[in-house]
């Protein structure tokens, strides 16, 4: 985007005070990226016809592509379709609009360069023309599956009213074609994961899992195999001879979310990590709320199988041996073990606020979260008691209380969600 365009957008210098005074109202040339962008999975060339294909979804965010405000300037009736071949993830961008601005128009500047904004998040070999993409569709291999299968299961997709078979695979960068494929498929995450980044898949410390869906190709009776999600794990060196595994990317396409697929993928991700020699624990890089919900549910399912996390033992409070057991069996780190302990304790009492256990646990968590604050206060008193004014103490304590309230709300919400899911499994 040109500097002039940025200034006009930020300061509204080009927005007319009265549309009747202008030949072309500027407001007609501003578009909300969230409303005009579509990501489409293409199985056959029929998916390119008017109207969007079955698996078409709007992004959850656009600020990483179209700047913070997500506004695109310079086009009238803009529509951006980003197409991905459902198996190979080869891409094509179709931009449609009825008119575009130019710097000769009164009160207008050149339009935003949409393709320059999209290109960093498009595969390097994306199709520049529709003809190239149509040719790619004709040559698409609908049965290519990278990696070695490690799990197979069936899930019902309520959005589509169909039950599909799924296969989770463990992939290697040494497999011909895989690295190029991953570079293509991971481009989608910019629309759905905040602070998304593309990894260097050539680094041997990366581990990859993909989940594939077995389905019909459009109206054809032939079954194809299509990637619908993936996870990546990086193996960090941990002194002196250990490995800390960090889950970096975790993505399920929107059409397959909310049906338990993420839990299966995460469970298998745990499996390949725990099978590694000398793993210290599992960490997660900047987890989003959706991933945290999946992680909490799975970790609660796993740890509640251990005696120390079952009733009535769990009522004795959190002790280090609980972390030792959780880490030994599932490589869950200490912070997450403590969180799961708290979620399970609330879920066991159905988050009943009138329970004595509820009040006891609330007090226990509050005291734990206040420990850093109290330590800081003691240190400051030793340095200089005069710098601790009553006002600064009150503000700090208010901040701590606010953090406690937020954390408690988060834990109780996780406990309620876990209880509800477990109840549904029992009813099923």
For the chain, domain boundaries? 3-138, 148-350, 356-412
For residue 14, pLDDT beyond 50:
no
Question: Using CA atoms, how far apart are residues 318 and 203, in angstroms rounded to an integer?
Answer: 39
Question: Using CA atoms, how far apart are residues 334 and 376, in angstroms rounded to an integer?
Answer: 23
Strands 79-85 and 37-42: parallel
SS (H, E, C) 28-71: HHEEEHHHHEEEEEECCHHHHCCCCCCCEECCCCCHHHHCCCCE
Question: Using CA atoms, how far apart are residues 250 and 262, in angstroms rounded to an integer?
Answer: 8
Tokens of 214: 């077995």
Axis crossing angle, helix 334-348 with helix 320-330, rounded to the nearest 10: 110
Question: Using CA atoms, how far apart are residues 13 and 348, in angstroms rounded to an integer?
Answer: 59
For residue 412, pLDDT beyond 50:
yes
Question: Using CA atoms, how far apart are residues 361 and 367, in angstroms rounded to an integer?
Answer: 10
Tokens of 398: 């208010």
Residue 54 — very low, low, confident or very high, per pLDDT cuts 50/70/90?
A: confident
Could you tell me which CATH number the domain at 3-138 has? 3.90.360.10
Of the candidates 415, 365, 373, 367, the residue with the CA atom closest to the CA atom of residue 393: 373
Residue 427 — very low, low, confident or very high, per pLDDT cuts 50/70/90?
A: low
Residue 6 — very low, low, confident or very high, per pLDDT cuts 50/70/90?
A: very low
Q: What is the pLDDT of residue 23?
A: 57
Cα angle 156-157-163, degrees, rounded to a multiple of 5: 45
Q: Answer whether 234's CB lies under 8 Å from 245's CB.
A: yes
Of the candidates 275, 327, 259, 273, the residue with the CA atom closest to the CA atom of residue 299: 327
Question: Using CA atoms, how far apart are residues 67 and 113, in angstroms rounded to an integer?
Answer: 12
More confident residue, 49 or 281: 281
Q: What is the pLDDT of residue 1?
A: 37
Q: What is the pLDDT of residue 7?
A: 31
Cα angle 419-425-428, degrees, rounded to a multiple of 5: 140
User: What 3-state class would DSSP assign to 358?
Assistant: helix
When mean pLDDT is compared across 22-31, 141-150, 306-315, 408-417, the lowest value belongs to: 22-31
Question: Using CA atoms, how far apart are residues 16 and 108, in angstroms rounded to an integer?
Answer: 10
Tokens of 292: 């945290």
For residue 246, pLDDT beyond 70:
yes
Could you tell me which CATH number the domain at 148-350 has? 3.40.630.30
More confident residue, 270 or 19: 270
In the 8-state DSSP scheme, what is residue 286? S
| Radius of gyration of the CA atoms of the chain, in A | 26
Q: What is the pLDDT of residue 18?
A: 43
For residue 112, pLDDT beyond 70:
yes
Mean pLDDT on 304-333: 97
Residue 4 — very low, low, confident or very high, per pLDDT cuts 50/70/90?
A: very low
Q: What is the pLDDT of residue 12?
A: 40
Tokens of 264: 């299966």
Q: What are 58-98's pLDDT values in tens digits? A: 999 999 999 899 999 999 999 999 999 999 999 999 999 99
Residue in the structure block whose two tokens are 């489409």: 40
Q: What is the pLDDT of residue 21?
A: 37
Question: Using CA atoms, how far apart are residues 424 and 426, in angstroms rounded to an integer?
Answer: 5
Respond yes or no on whether the N-terminal peptide bond of residue 261 is cis (omega within 30° of 0). Answer: no
pTM exceeds 0.85 for this model: yes
Q: Answer whether 42's CB lies under 8 Å from 54's CB.
A: no
Q: What are 267-297's pLDDT values in tens digits? A: 999 999 999 999 999 999 999 999 999 999 9
Mean pLDDT on 409-421: 96
Question: Using CA atoms, how far apart are residues 107 and 8, in angstroms rounded to an integer?
Answer: 10
Helices (H), 193-333: 261-274, 289-303, 320-330
The mean pLDDT value of the chain amounts to 89
């Amino acid at each position: 985007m040109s500097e002039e365009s940025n200034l006009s957008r930020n300061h509204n210098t080009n927005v007319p005070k009265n549309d009747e005074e202008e030949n072309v109202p500027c407001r007609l040339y501003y578009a909300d990226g969230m409303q005009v962008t579509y990501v489409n999975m293409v199985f056959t060339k029929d998916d390119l016809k008017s109207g969007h294909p079955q698996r078409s979804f709007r992004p959850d965010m656009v600020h990483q592509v179209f700047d913070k405000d997500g506004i695109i300037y310079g086009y009238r009736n803009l529509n951006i379709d980003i197409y991905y071949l459902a198996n190979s993830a080869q891409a094509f961008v179709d931009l449609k609009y009825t008119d575009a601005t130019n710097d000769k128009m009164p009160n207008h500047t050149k339009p935003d360069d949409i393709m320059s904004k999209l290109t960093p998040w498009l595969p390097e070999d994306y199709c520049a023309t529709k003809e190239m993409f149509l040719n790619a569709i004709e040559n698409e291999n609908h049965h290519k599956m990278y990696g070695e299968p490690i799990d197979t299961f069936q899930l019902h997709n309520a959005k589509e009213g169909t039950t599909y078979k799924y296969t989770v695979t463990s992939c290697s960068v040494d497999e011909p074609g895989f690295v190029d494929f991953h570079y293509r498929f991971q481009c989608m995450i910019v629309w759905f994961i905040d602070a998304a980044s593309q990894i260097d898949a050539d680094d041997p410390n990366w581990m990859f899992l993909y989940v594939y869906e077995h389905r019909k190709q459009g109206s054809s009776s032939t079954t194809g195999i299509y990637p619908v999600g993936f996870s990546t794990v990086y193996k960090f060196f941990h002194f002196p001879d250990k490995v800390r595994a960090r889950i970096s990317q975790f993505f399920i396409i929107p059409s397959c979310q909310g049906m338990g697929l993420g839990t299966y993928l995460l469970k298998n991700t745990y499996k390949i990590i725990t099978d590694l020699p000398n793993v210290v624990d599992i960490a997660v890089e900047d987890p989003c709320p959706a991933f945290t919900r999946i992680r909490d549910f799975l970790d609660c399912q796993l740890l509640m199988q251990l005696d120390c996390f079952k009733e009535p033992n769990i009522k004795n409070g959190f002790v280090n041996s609980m972390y030792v057991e959780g880490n030994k069996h599932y490589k869950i780190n200490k912070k997450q073990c403590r969180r799961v302990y708290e979620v399970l304790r609330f879920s066991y009492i159905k988050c009943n606020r009138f329970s004595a256990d509820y009040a006891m646990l609330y007090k226990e968590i509050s005291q734990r979260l206040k420990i850093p604050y109290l330590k800081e206060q003691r240190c400051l008193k030793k340095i200089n008691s005069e710098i601790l004014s009553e006002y600064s103490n009150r503000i700090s304590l208010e901040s701590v209380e606010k953090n406690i309230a937020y954390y408690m709300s988060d834990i109780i919400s996780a406990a309620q969600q876990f209880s509800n899911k477990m109840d549904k499994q029992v009813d099923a």
